[in-house]
Amino acid sequence: MKKNILVTGGSGFIGSNFIPHFLSKHPDYRIINLDKLTYAGNPKNLKEVETNPQYTFIHGDICDRILLEKIFMEHDIQGVIHFAAESHVDNSITGPGEFIRTNVTGTFTLIDVARISWKGKPHRFHHISTDEVYGTLGESGLFKETTPYAPNSPYSASKASSDLIVRAYHHTYGMNVVTTNCSNNYGPKQHDEKLIPTIIRKALTGEKIPVYGDGKNIRDWLYVEDHCTGIDLAFHKGVSGETYNIGGRNEKVNIDIVKEICSILDEKKPRSDKKPYSEQISFVTDRPGHDRRYAIDATKIENELGWKASENFTTGIHKTIQWYLENTGK
């Protein structure tokens, strides 16, 4: 019997990498992709599955309770993988209201409709979150699943709120939930606003490559395909009520990433004047509440579920740059 899984936000960066991965690994599943198609959601991201009979796209909002009730009833939804979220930190600083609406109210509406529709059945609700809920780290240490929440931006506060709503629905109603908190993703199909696509785009168009502050903020990078395998494992094998941190163990200083990308582009697509792309680097005013360092301890998902990242940053960034070179302007 086919199993119907609702994926929210599946046309965004991570979701559009996950859906083809999931369909190829689980041909016995049907995927219903509900996406509002805001600026970050692009239907072109899923061209490879458009004609797959196991895939259905629905244009809609996770805050629309009537629509959600209709989807759960008509498609007999037996699992949820919840990506849908406003995710750009800068946008949360200038317009926090939409982040509260989508990430907090939207998550509540979705899980509440699931609770009522499933009537106590043990269908799984998988909530996708971020390491930003933990705040910032000093020079040492790693975020663990037990690290207290200390969000510093409206975005991370809204994600922390949604995590706690999901947790509460497990403890109050006994729902079969699992949450995964990931480190910074990169790879094909990422929206232009994010750090790595911005570096590549600005370099290739001859513009200044903006670097916040002193460029020494540190992030832990995770290749998106590795994240997809972690989500797949947690959805199928994760213990109900548990949280799993998914990180690539690839800590990188921002300015070093910029220089590495410039160096790879110097080889793959040299500037017409033969000068290095690093000449375009420009330091700009730091953003408010900019966390200094993130790094995830992925020991739990590695030991308990057998997950392991396949890509290190060098292999992943070469694949990413090649994808952008081949797909720019398409």
Q: Report yes or no on 285 lying in a domain.
A: no
326 counts as catalytic: no
149 counts as catalytic: no
Whether the per-residue pLDDT at 2 is higher than 90: the answer is no
Q: How many domains does the chain have?
A: 1
DSSP 107-156: HHHHHHHHHHHHTT---EEEEEEEGGGG----SS--B-TTSPP---SHHH
Average pLDDT over residues 234-251: 96
Q: What share of the chain is helix, strand, coil (3-state, %, to 5)?
A: 45, 20, 35
Please write the tens of the pLDDT for every residue from 172-228. Answer: 999 999 999 999 999 999 988 888 999 999 999 999 999 998 999 898 999 999 999
Mean pLDDT lowest among 2-16, 184-198, 237-251: 184-198
Range of the domain at 7: 3-186+222-248
User: For a pLDDT cut of 70, what percent of the chain falls above it?
Assistant: 99
155 counts as catalytic: yes
Q: Check which CATH number belongs to the domain holding 76 and give it.
A: 3.40.50.720
Q: How confident is the model at residue 91 (pLDDT cuts 50, 70, 90)?
A: confident
Q: Return mean pLDDT, the chain.
A: 94
Q: How confident is the model at residue 294 (pLDDT cuts 50, 70, 90)?
A: confident
**Whether pTM exceeds 0.85:** yes
Q: Residues 131, 220, 302, 311: which is the catalytic one?
A: 131
Q: Report yes or no on 71 lying in a domain.
A: yes
Q: How confident is the model at residue 329 (pLDDT cuts 50, 70, 90)?
A: low
Q: Residues 132, 220, 232, 297: which is the catalytic one?
A: 132
Whether the per-residue pLDDT at 1 is higher than 70: the answer is no
Whether the per-residue pLDDT at 271 is higher than 80: the answer is yes
Whole-number Å distance between alpha carbons of 86 and 88:
6
Q: Report yes or no on 11 lying in a domain.
A: yes
Q: Residues 55, 61, 134, 155: which is the catalytic one?
A: 155
Whether the per-residue pLDDT at 308 is higher than 60: the answer is yes
Q: Report yes or no on 55 lying in a domain.
A: yes
Whole-number Å distance between alpha carbons of 285 and 301:
37
